Amino acid sequence: MRLLGKLRSLLESARQKRLEHGSSLKVVFFHALYEGSQSPAALDPLLAHSTDQLAACIDRIRAEGREFLHPGDLGKQLPKKGRFALLTFDDGYANNRLALPILRSKAVSAVFFITSRPVETQQSYWWDVLHRESARRNVSPEELSATRKLLKLKTPDGIQQELTSRFGAQCWKPHGDADRPLDLAELAKFSAEPEVVIGNHTRDHALLAQCGEAELEEQLESCQDTLAQVVGQRPTLLAYPNGRWNDAVLLAARRAGIQAAFTTRSALAPLPLPSSQHLLIPRLAP
C-alpha cells in the first residue's frame, strides 16, 4: 500500500508539472491583507499577506503567461483551453478592501468568499482570537498548533464556548480595522465594485464534512440568504472552509445553487474542466 501511494504521488507530481506549461487553471487564495512589512499582532500570521505580496503574486502569474479570468466565467462550462488564473479571498475581512487599488491598477477581478455570521455580529474570527490570546500568554508554537487542530474538530458553537471559557467573552471583540470583518454596509458597498464578486463561505466557517444534513443545509442556505439581502443576488460560487467536503456537501452545494466550488487541494486544474469537477476546483496558497 505504501508503494502504491508513493507511485500515485509521483504520477500526480508529473501531471502537475505538465499542467504548469499546459492548458490549466491556477487559482490562488488569500485571507487577510495588511500594508507594510509586518503582519499586525491581532492577525494570525499564517493567514495574512501584505499588499506588496498580493501585487507581486499577480505580476508573477502574468509572467508565467497566464490570463486572469473574470469570476463570472466560472458559471460556464469552461470549455476553452489555455493558461488561466483566478484570485480568491476567504472569510470577509474588512482589510480585503486594501486589494481594490491593486486589482484596479492591474485590471484583475477576484472572488471574495464571505462567512456571514462574523459580518453580522462583528466578532473576530476564532483563529485570530486563538493567536493573539495565546501570544499574550506566551503559549509555545507547538501548543498553539495542537490547540488549533483540536478546535477544528469542534462545531462552531463548540469553538465559541471553548475560547470564551479560556479567554473570556471580551476576546471576541476585534482590536481594530486590521482584524475585523466587513460590516453589512461595507459589504454592500464593496460588492458593488466592478473588480469584486461575492461568494459563499458558510454562515460560521463550519467544516462542512463534519456537519449533519440539517446543519449542512443551514450553513449554506443561511449564508446564501444573508448575502442575497446585502449584495442583491445569491452567490453561485463557494469555498469550502479548510477545503473540507464529501458527497453530502456536494449535493447540498448543488441544491443551494452553487455552480463552482473550491477546495484547498494544492494543485492546478486541467482545462477544459469536466462538469464533474466544477465543485472540486483546487487552489494554491500564494
Is residue 77 scored above 80 in pLDDT?
no
| Residue 157 domain boundaries | 125-173
Q: Can you give the pLDDT at residue 72? A: 83
Number of domains in the chain: 2
In this structure, the strands spanning 110-114 and 67-68 are unpaired
pTM: 0.94
Tell me the mean pLDDT in the region 180-198. 98
Q: Three-class SS of residue 245?
A: coil
Q: Do 86 and 166 reside in the same domain of the chain?
A: no
Q: Do 198 and 83 reside in the same domain of the chain?
A: yes
Considering the domain boundaries, does residue 2 fall inside one?
no
Contact 119, 203 (CB under 8 A): no
Alpha-helical regions (H) of 79-212: 99-105, 116-121, 126-136, 141-151, 156-167, 184-191
Note the pLDDT tens digit of each residue in 10-19: 555 655 666 6
Instruction: Give the span between the Cα atoms of 61 and 109, in whole angstroms.
Output: 14
Q: Do 27 and 56 reside in the same domain of the chain?
A: yes
